[in-house]
Copies of this chain bind each other. A is one copy, B any other.
Amino acid sequence: MAGARANEPRTIRSAVQLTPMEVPKASDVLANELRERILNGEFPEGTALPPERELVIQTQMSRTTVREALRILEVQGLVRIKTGRAGGAFVQRPDRDSVATSVSLLIRGQQIRLAALLETREAIEPFCARLAARHRTDTDLGRLDQANKAIADAEGGLAQFLQANVDWHVAVATASHNELLTGLMTALSQAIYAATENEDFVNAEVRRTTVRAHKSITEAIRAQDPDAAVRRMGRHVHAYAEAVLKVEERTEIAVPDA
C-alpha cells in the first residue's frame, strides 16, 4: 500500500457514484402496502380494513403510524373512514372527484391562466361530444335535457346559471362513457366556473346563446351524429372562450409564470 508510485494519488476518489437515497417512513411503507393491495383488487370496494388497534397488533407499528398511513389513503381517495361502532376504514375506488381535486390544486397552485383553462376545454370537450353522440343512452339524454332546462330557468342567479352550465357540460362528458374524460371535464368545468364567477359578462344575450347552442349540440348527440356534435361543440366552446377573454383581457386569474 505504502509503496505505491509517488505520482499516483494515494486513494482513488469518486470511484463509485451514488445518488441521493430515500429512506421511507414507516407510515409510507404501510400506506404503500395497503394501496397496492387495494389497487390490485385484493379488497373489493366496501371492504372494511381491520380496526386501527388490530392493525397495530398485526404490523407491530404504533397507532400513530397506522393512523398516518390511513390518512394518506383517505386523502388519495382509496378509503373512506367512518367513526363510531362498526366504523373504520372502508375501501373505495378513486373517482372523478379525486382527480378533480387534484387538477384544481394544479390550476390554483400553478396560477394557470384562464386562457389555458379555456384552451384545454377546447381540446377536450368537442371530443367528448363526439363520443357522447356514439355512446349516449336515454339516461344521458335525460340528464342533458334537464340541465339545459335548468339553465333556461335560472332567472337572475348567476351562481344558478353557472352551476347548471357546469351540470350540462359534465353531463356531456358522462355521456361519453369515458371515465377519464369525465373526471377531467368535471375538474375543468368547476375551475372555469370558479374563474368566471365574478364576471358580469354573463348577460341575458349570452344566456340565450348558450341555451341555443346547448340545444343544438344535444340534438346532434340525440341523433347520434358525431360529426355534427363535434363541430357544434367546437364552435360553442370557442365562442364562449372568445367572449370570456374579450371581457377579461387584462384580468386573468393570475399572472402567468412564463
Residues of chain A having any CB pair with chain B under 8 Å: 27, 38-39, 41, 64, 67-68, 71-72, 75-78, 93-96, 98-99, 101-103, 105-112, 116-117, 119-120, 122-124, 126-128, 131, 177-181, 183-184, 254, 257-258
- Residues of B contacting A108 with CB < 8 Å? 39
Shortest CB distance A183–B (Å) = 6
Task: Give the copy number.
Answer: 2
Main secondary structure of the interface of A (DSSP, over half): helix
Given contacts A98-B106, A105-B77, contact A120 B71 (CB under 8 A): no
Residue in contact with A180 in the complex, picked from B38, B117, B131, B179, CB distance below 8 Å: B117
Given contacts A105-B98, A109-B78, A123-B127, are A116 and B180 in contact (CB under 8 A)? yes
Apart from A78-B109, A112-B180, list 10 A-B contacts with CB within 8 A. A71-B72, A75-B75, A76-B101, A94-B105, A98-B102, A102-B102, A120-B178, A123-B124, A123-B127, A124-B124
- List 13 contacting pairs A-B, 8 Å CB cutoff, sorted by A: A39-B105, A64-B64, A71-B71, A76-B105, A94-B102, A95-B106, A101-B102, A103-B180, A103-B183, A116-B178, A119-B131, A120-B180, A179-B257
